[in-house]
Amino acid sequence: MVRLFVPINYSDYSVNALNYAIKLGQKIPSTITLVTCQDPVTDKENRDNGPKLEELKASIEMNFTEQQQKNINLLTRHEIGYPEDILVDISVKEEPDAIIMGTRSKGETIKELLGSVTSDVIKNAKVPVLAVPAESTVDIERLSNILFVTDFSDCDYRSLHKLIRLITPFQTQIFASHFKASQPDKWDKKRLEEMRLYCKQTYRNYNICFDFITGEDFISDLDTFIESNQIDLIAMTRHKRNMISKLLHPSITRKMLFHTDIPLLVFHE
C-alpha cells in the first residue's frame, strides 16, 4: 500500500495534482490523504475548513470507478499552519511514500518562483515530492518514458529503486541520463557502465537505457531531450550543496521545476 499526501488549496492546479494522484492510485493500491492548511494569522476567524474538504472528498468518491474504489482509500486532514511547514513536518514524522503537489504552468514571475511553496517543500522535505504542473495528466495505462537524471551517486541508486517501486504497474521506459557540459571522460563512462550492469542484474524486467546528454545550455538540452523522447515524467535526486555553491549556481531542481510542464519527481539524499 502506497501512502500519498496531496495538499489542497482548491485551486485548479491543486485539484489537478489530486486527479494525478488518483490516476496513479487506480494502478497502485494507495492511501491518499488530502491536506488543507490554513494561515494561522489571516484565517483566525475562519479556521473550520473541514466541511469543505469533506465535500470535496465525497464528490471525488462519488465519481470513483470500480477499480478506484477497490484500490484507493481516500482520507482528509485539516491543519492550522503554513503548508511549507506542515508538509515538511508530515514528511519527517510520518514518512509517506510521496507528497504530490500542484504547480502553475511554466513561466511564473520571479516573485512566484522565489516564494513557491512547492520549491520550499522540495528543498526541505525528507520524502519524494512530485510536482505536477497545471496542464499535466497521466495515462492510466502507461507512463511511457521517464527521464531519470543521475550523478551516479549512491543515493541515485536508492532513488532509482523508489522510482521503480512507484511505476511498477505501468509500461515504462526509463532513460537514466547524466548531463555534461563537455564530453564524458573515462571516469564518467566507468560510472555509467557500473550503474548499467547493476540495473541489468537488479531490474531485469525493466527497460532502462543509459546515456550522456552533453551541451553547455542545460535547459535547452533538456527541452530537446524531452521533445525527442516524448518524456512523461522527470525524476532526479536533490543533492545537498554547500553555501558557496548555492550562492554561485542556481539550483538545477528549481530551474527544472519552473521551466518545464512535465511533472518532476524529486528524491532526497
Per-residue pLDDT, 199:
95
Q: Which domain holds residue 205?
A: 145-268
* Rounded CA separation 35/267 (Å): 21
Please give the residue that has the higher pLDDT: either 136 or 50. 136
**Is residue 181 located within the same domain as residue 106?**
no
Final residue belonging to a domain, choices 111, 133, 155 = 133
Per-residue pLDDT, 115:
47
Residue 140 lies in a domain: no
Three-class SS of residue 32?
strand
Query: Among the listed ranges 39-48, 58-67, 133-142, 208-217, which one has the minimum average pLDDT value?
Result: 39-48
**Is residue 104 located within the same domain as residue 173?**
no
pLDDT digits (tens, 9 = 90+) for 32-62: 999 998 877 766 555 556 678 888 899 999 9
The percent of residues in the chain predicted with pLDDT above 70, rounded, is 83
**Is residue 192 located within the same domain as residue 69?**
no
**Is residue 200 located within the same domain as residue 87?**
no
Segment 240-245 shows an average pLDDT of 48
pLDDT digits (tens, 9 = 90+) for 109-119: 444 444 478 88
**Is residue 123 located within the same domain as residue 149?**
no
Final residue belonging to a domain, choices 79, 109, 133 = 133
CATH number of the domain to which 170 belongs: 3.40.50.620
